[in-house]
Amino acid sequence: MGRYVFGVDIGGTTVKLGLFGEEGVLLEQWEIPTVKENGGASILPNVAESVKGKMEERHIREEDVAGIGVGAPGAVDEEGTLVGGAVNIGWKPFNIPEALGAYINVPIKAANDANAAAYGELWQGGGKGSANMVAVTLGTGVGGGIVVNGSLLNGATGAGGEIGHIHLVDGETESCGCGNRGCLEQYASATGIARLAERRLEKDEKPSLLRGRNLSAKSVFDAVKAGDEVAIEIAEQFGEYLGKGLAVVAAVVNPEVFVIGGGVSKAGEILLSFVEPAYKKYAFHQCRGARFALAELGNDAGIYGAAGLIILN
Amino acid sequence: MGRYVFGVDIGGTTVKLGLFGEEGVLLEQWEIPTVKENGGASILPNVAESVKGKMEERHIREEDVAGIGVGAPGAVDEEGTLVGGAVNIGWKPFNIPEALGAYINVPIKAANDANAAAYGELWQGGGKGSANMVAVTLGTGVGGGIVVNGSLLNGATGAGGEIGHIHLVDGETESCGCGNRGCLEQYASATGIARLAERRLEKDEKPSLLRGRNLSAKSVFDAVKAGDEVAIEIAEQFGEYLGKGLAVVAAVVNPEVFVIGGGVSKAGEILLSFVEPAYKKYAFHQCRGARFALAELGNDAGIYGAAGLIILN
């Protein structure tokens, strides 16, 4: 097996690339723009060219490359097929390893980008040392990546770990982006927290640092850190929703650790202090001991996880 | 690899045993009593003796046996350790393959009995041909067994697939057997259905075949088949709860098929007609296409799945 591995994380504006050496050490990382024109037809040729350029620069031969792992922004099945396409970058459904393999002759594997990021956190981040993990990404939405016995759970149609779309609340009047109503994402994402804050502030006139401020996950948790009572109520509500949702997830996959990442997680350890107690309240007793950790790799989780697809399998 | 496999399903009153031949054909099945005295200390010696007796009877040598698979009534981890013991049969935590291996020198694997039954349905029952399945057992409680990429999902502490303990209803006043309140099991098990029926009948005086009858899952579905309106309302409520719970499960593991078994499933296809519409209403769009099937192996699912632990791995 070759000594080098490339990890590729295809995003809506840039493609992140990483060159990994023995034992998974990140040697170098760089980016190229994601060219979305023509249905994203140049994205994979550009990736191949960039990888080949790096190989030439470093005098790496094809036989020294163990493989290329690719994270893509859509549902990807076990064979690396992007089953539903990837609307953000204009891709229709196709098999990624086959398509990229037309430009470069090394082993290739592909996974969903959120799942790849989860895998990165498992391998070298907040979930290190665990074989059963749930990674939770609290951003604009709520994403999830699930690792079972050391392998990514992709599911039958690549929708494994779509925990943001767990039905959590009956009688919700607003719709989630997915079309349903009452999804976890509507309460625990960055936008969900802003909405909880708005609803709480409208309820009464209790003074709060948040009044007249731009409501966001950041402003809420900053106010929590300043001891603001209304902000603490909002954070408790968020914790109740997310803790309850993760307790449901635990009754299904029984993870050893939950790794919490995404923009909202920048609030730090204080975030976990609102989620864990609610989790323990709703969790099945045998699942109650699951650990909670913050994600550690930030935006690099994707390239780590993509490389991990090659190195760990 | 040997040509024969034994599947062993350890229950509270009897141990079921099956001898399987090439390609997983069940050649013979029999039972021995589960001796619970002395903390169940004779159960495994009895199993070994029964297996050896059968080998002698059929002139099967040790080298002709590919292995023994064991389903046990408690949480079992990847290594076959009964992590929390098995209260029903008096067992404390120990490693099953090691303990049974002291009496008979063939490969041994163990799993939780509900998970083994799920694996049996995957292999030769309602989930045949699928690699991603959720088996749901609707009995006194609600059990689950999850298969991901063809492997059983045991979880970090053997509680993978405990879908009966998904928190589903806020504000429930009665407690579940697990100590929490509002678990799926409280609404979708045989006892749950009887309770839904009781609550519905108390609500008003609407005439129903169920009035004055012993309330059970069977009497409810018999009345549904007779066109009883109140019974249909109860079945719809049951379907709403179970469908919602399974939609949550689908957002986590995204199965290809749900296989519904257990005593309640004897109602037949009509049961699915109440569950599927509710499932589709709450499911994430990419999970909406999951199939629903009835379990096919009944009480034999456990020995099939136990044998499958050896044959399929």
Residues above pLDDT 90, as percent of chain B: 86
Query: What predicted TM-score, i.e. pTM, was given to this entire model?
Result: 0.89
Triad B71, B73, B79: Cα angle to 5°: 55
User: In the predicted model, what is the mean pLDDT of residues B256-269?
Assistant: 94
For residue A16, what are the β-bridge partners? Answer: A9, A31
- pLDDT beyond 70 at A246: yes
CB atoms within 10 A of CB B207: 9
Three-state secondary structure call for residue A206 = coil
Question: Is the CB of B251 less than 8 angstroms away from the CB of A178?
Answer: no
Question: Is the CB of B285 less than 8 angstroms away from the CB of A179?
Answer: yes
For residue A137, what are the β-bridge partners? Answer: A143, A261
In Å, the largest CA–CA distance within chain B is 68
Going by DSSP bridges, is the β-strand pair B142-148/B133-138 parallel, antiparallel, or unpaired? antiparallel
In this prediction the ipTM stands at 0.88
Poorest-pLDDT segment among A149-163, B35-49, B207-221, B279-293: A149-163
Chain B hits for A251, Cβ within 8 Å:
159, 162-163, 165-167
A75 pLDDT band, cuts 50/70/90, is confident
The span from the CA of A6 to the CA of B223, in Å, is 63
Strand order in the sheet with B151-152: B151-152, B142-148, B133-138, B257-261, B291-294
Q: What is the mean pLDDT of chain A?
A: 94
Query: What's the DSSP call for residue B23?
Result: G
Looking up tokens 């780590």 gives A304
Q: What is the pLDDT of residues A175-194, one digit of tens each?
A: 998 899 999 999 999 999 99
Angstrom CA distances, B110 to A186, A226, A248, B69, B107, stand at 41, 53, 26, 6, 10
Q: Identify the sign of the CA torsion B155, B146, B171, A166.
A: positive
Which amino acid type is present at position B74?
G
Contact in structure between A69 and A123 (CB atoms under 8 Å): no
In B21-64, beta strands by DSSP E: 26-33
Residues whose CB falls within 8 Å of the CB of residue A182, separated by 6 or more in sequence, listed in order: A167, A168, A169, A170, A171, A172, A176
H/E stretch holding A69 reads: strand A65-72
In chain A, beta strands by DSSP E: 4-10, 14-20, 26-33, 65-72, 108-112, 133-138, 142-148, 151-152, 257-261, 291-294
Instruction: Provide the token pair at A98.
Output: 């086959």
User: In the predicted model, what is the mean pLDDT of residues A157-170?
Assistant: 93
Which amino acid type is present at position A302?
G
Question: Is the CB of A285 less than 8 angstroms away from the CB of B166?
Answer: no
Tell which wins on pLDDT, A1 or A298. Answer: A298
Q: Which of B84, B166, B250 is opposite residue A251, by nearest beta carbon?
A: B166
Chain B hits for A244, Cβ within 8 Å:
167
H/E stretch holding A67 reads: strand A65-72
The span from the CA of A156 to the CA of A96, in Å, is 17
User: In the predicted model, what is the mean pLDDT of residues B287-297?
Assistant: 97
Give the pLDDT confidence score for residue B1 in this predicted structure. 57
User: In the predicted model, what is the mean pLDDT of residues B35-62?
Assistant: 96
Q: What is the pLDDT of residues A36-60, one digit of tens each?
A: 999 999 999 999 999 999 999 999 9
- Rama region for A38: left / alpha / beta (φ>0; ψ in -120 to 50; rest): left
Looking up tokens 């993509």 gives A306
Q: What is the mean pLDDT of chain B?
A: 95
Residues above pLDDT 70, as percent of chain B: 100
Q: Which of B151, B162, B254 is opposite residue A160, by nearest beta carbon?
A: B254
Looking up tokens 């459904």 gives A93
The whole-angstrom distance between A58's CA and the closest CA on chain B is: 38
The span from the CA of B30 to the CA of B51, in Å, is 11
Query: What's the DSSP call for residue B81?
Result: B
HSE, side-chain direction, 13 A CA sphere, residue A312: 22
For residue B82, what are the β-bridge partners? Answer: B76
Tell which wins on pLDDT, A112 or A290. Answer: A290
Q: Which of B131, B149, B282 is opposite residue A180, by nearest beta carbon?
A: B282
Give the pLDDT confidence score for residue A216 in this predicted structure. 95
Q: Which of B162, B167, B251 is opposite residue A163, by nearest beta carbon?
A: B251
Give the pLDDT confidence score for residue A1 in this predicted structure. 57
CB atoms within 10 A of CB B174: 8
Q: Which of B284, B285, B291, B292 to mutate to test the interface with A (most CBs of A within 10 A)?
A: B284
Distance, C-alpha B166 to centroid of its chain: 16
